[in-house]
A and B are shown apart, each in its own frame.
Chain A
């Protein structure tokens, strides 16, 4: 049953060295606070799964926490490359990492299959694509009814998924709205799920019946972290800090500058610091 916990405890209780873990968020509601807490606790040998490993995986890879990444777009959205991830892939710095690369369609289908309890996902994809030749997990099946050859990938079943959401009610049910990405599938596909939220409200009684609500029994722990997805955004709360994404390109380009930034902004900080980072973005939301 879901527990409301301080983020430090929620991360400590649910993440272990060597876990496969998804910190999901498709440009919106990225669980930055949870990722930063994982960095502070110094986990090792993680398999990091995410469709769009942006700044937080660049940071975790740069801190040497990942032994493998599973992804479909390893870029800084709209800005360019992820320079810490590049350093690891191209130069093995600070350690070499294994790469399992898919397309968005492949990852989305694989999460959905994980949520559905299936061993694999079947879809029309990867036709003529080079990824099918370099990723042994991209295979094919033949439709027993039509004979069409379709792509198959193993389902994604993370040990633990972290997401950020707008709000929880007092019982621990969670609301996600706006660009909902892959969050619901990533939670349902995982063995355990931890959710950070902007706020807790008394009830969800007045919500539209079709909004994306994750029932409390699908979640292991909830932590209240206002601003917890900065520099991403939380629809209805604060806007995306596009300037921070532009600045990251320069910070991550240099190993020394990166370490200094991490010490000043992650290692030496706590979850409570996130609220202040979105103050100037609230009126823009």
Chain B
């Protein structure tokens, strides 16, 4: 597919675009999966001093491989400090010390509301998903929220089945009306584009297309009618350093996670 002709995949572009959004002085609460890869690529490239926090209580962690869970041992071994879970949520998140909450999503709507709880009715679910974990409070206590996910019509929907984490609600000043004084979702990075909320309506709007991606592709894999910014940018392609860093990280991670199984079989 087109990704291979360009020398990188859409998923690699997504992770690298997400990593670029993070700054050296950010204090980032890291969700597992795609956010974790992006945060660690940032740390290994342009933001070596970024503080990465996982909800297991590890603050300022610098893992050599991506953790499978949010509490793998290496997170603790490389952390500046490891605190108990109540302290994590009370002092560090609720206390307003997190600049970026970085979340993934199973279902997302155009106002950045996230569902990771159920597909279908809550009490009679078609599919019971894992639920929110730390996300409901990450979404409201972090100063800003970044979201990253691969696009699909199943994932990006007009109406989510459950409000696991509150984004901009119905849009506009809905957060303010609920007494939430943090900015909420300010950035969405998908495998096709970079999106930012409209300053007034808060609807996510495409501001940059990844190299080789058309407006039609973005619309085809999104369940709502997509708005595009008037001045649409093209996301810079991954640099050699970014790609190498990501691929090395993923290779180390794969070897480490499969390693225990191979040894057991031996």
What is the interface of chain A, defined by CB distance below 8 A to chain B?
Answer: 26-28, 51-52, 71-75, 77-82, 85-86, 89-90, 101, 103-105, 108-109, 111-112, 123-131, 134, 148-149, 178-182, 184-185, 212, 233, 235, 239-247, 280-281, 284-285
The answer to whether B129 and A81 have CB atoms under 8 Å apart is yes
When distances are taken between beta carbons in the complex, the residues of chain A under 8 Å from B154 are none
When distances are taken between beta carbons in the complex, the residues of chain B under 8 Å from A103 are 132-137
When distances are taken between beta carbons in the complex, the residues of chain B under 8 Å from A90 are 125-128
When distances are taken between beta carbons in the complex, the residues of chain B under 8 Å from A124 are 94, 137, 140-141
- With A73-B131, A149-B179, A179-B76 already in contact, the answer to whether A105 and B137 are too (CB < 8 A) is yes
Kindly provide the distance from the CB of A63 to the nearest chain B CB, expressed in whole angstroms: 18
The answer to whether B166 and A74 have CB atoms under 8 Å apart is no
Residues of B99-136 whose CB lies within 8 A of A: 117, 122-123, 125-136
Kindly provide the distance from the CB of A243 to the nearest chain B CB, expressed in whole angstroms: 3
Kindly provide the distance from the CB of B100 to the nearest chain A CB, expressed in whole angstroms: 18
Mark the stretch among B208-216, B222-230, B242-250, B255-263 that contacts chain A: B255-263
Query: Is there a chain A Cβ closer than 8 Å to B183's Cβ?
Result: no
- With A130-B122, A178-B73 already in contact, the answer to whether A73 and B133 are too (CB < 8 A) is yes
The answer to whether A71 and B162 have CB atoms under 8 Å apart is no
Kindly provide the distance from the CB of A53 to the nearest chain B CB, expressed in whole angstroms: 10
When distances are taken between beta carbons in the complex, the residues of chain B under 8 Å from A285 are 73
Kindly provide the distance from the CB of A230 to the nearest chain B CB, expressed in whole angstroms: 11
A/B interface sample: 27 pairs, CB < 8 A: A26-B56, A26-B85, A27-B70, A27-B71, A52-B133, A75-B129, A75-B130, A77-B71, A78-B68, A86-B127, A86-B128, A104-B137, A105-B94, A108-B88, A124-B137, A127-B180, A128-B169, A128-B174, A129-B164, A130-B162, A148-B179, A179-B76, A212-B84, A239-B73, A240-B73, A240-B260, A284-B259
Query: Is there a chain A Cβ closer than 8 Å to B165's Cβ?
Result: yes
When distances are taken between beta carbons in the complex, the residues of chain A under 8 Å from B256 are 242
The answer to whether B128 and A74 have CB atoms under 8 Å apart is yes
When distances are taken between beta carbons in the complex, the residues of chain A under 8 Å from B130 are 73-75, 80-82
- With A27-B72, A104-B89 already in contact, the answer to whether A242 and B125 are too (CB < 8 A) is no
Nearest B residue to A184 by beta-carbon distance?
A: B84
The answer to whether A127 and B73 have CB atoms under 8 Å apart is no
Kindly provide the distance from the CB of B250 to the nearest chain A CB, expressed in whole angstroms: 14
When distances are taken between beta carbons in the complex, the residues of chain A under 8 Å from B164 are 129-131
Q: Please, how many angstroms separate the alpha-carbon atoms of A72 and B257 in the complex?
A: 25
Query: Is there a chain A Cβ closer than 8 Å to B37's Cβ?
Result: no
Q: Please, how many angstroms separate the alpha-carbon atoms of A137 and B130 in the complex?
A: 20
Q: Please, how many angstroms separate the alpha-carbon atoms of A166 and B194 in the complex?
A: 46
The answer to whether B132 and A129 have CB atoms under 8 Å apart is yes
Residues of B168-195 whose CB lies within 8 A of A: 169, 174-175, 178-180
- With A71-B131, A130-B162, A243-B264 already in contact, the answer to whether A77 and B70 are too (CB < 8 A) is yes
The answer to whether A181 and B260 have CB atoms under 8 Å apart is no
Nearest B residue to A285 by beta-carbon distance?
A: B73
The answer to whether A111 and B166 have CB atoms under 8 Å apart is no
Nearest A residue to B263 by beta-carbon distance?
A: A280
Q: Please, how many angstroms separate the alpha-carbon atoms of A74 and B181 in the complex?
A: 30
Q: Please, how many angstroms separate the alpha-carbon atoms of A105 and B257 in the complex?
A: 29
The answer to whether A179 and B257 have CB atoms under 8 Å apart is no
Kindly provide the distance from the CB of B61 to the nearest chain A CB, expressed in whole angstroms: 11
Contact of B133 among A72, A89, A128 (CB under 8 A): A72
When distances are taken between beta carbons in the complex, the residues of chain A under 8 Å from B84 are 180-182, 184-185, 212
- With A128-B166, A235-B76 already in contact, the answer to whether A105 and B134 are too (CB < 8 A) is yes
Q: Please, how many angstroms separate the alpha-carbon atoms of A169 and B12 in the complex?
A: 50
Kindly provide the distance from the CB of A173 to the nearest chain B CB, expressed in whole angstroms: 18
Nearest A residue to B135 by beta-carbon distance?
A: A103
Kindly provide the distance from the CB of A285 to the nearest chain B CB, expressed in whole angstroms: 7
When distances are taken between beta carbons in the complex, the residues of chain B under 8 Å from A242 are 68, 72, 256-257, 260
Kindly provide the distance from the CB of B30 to the nearest chain A CB, expressed in whole angstroms: 13
The answer to whether A75 and B140 have CB atoms under 8 Å apart is no
Contact of B260 among A86, A111, A244 (CB under 8 A): A244
When distances are taken between beta carbons in the complex, the residues of chain A under 8 Å from B32 are 77-78
When distances are taken between beta carbons in the complex, the residues of chain A under 8 Å from B122 are 130, 134
The answer to whether B128 and A109 have CB atoms under 8 Å apart is no
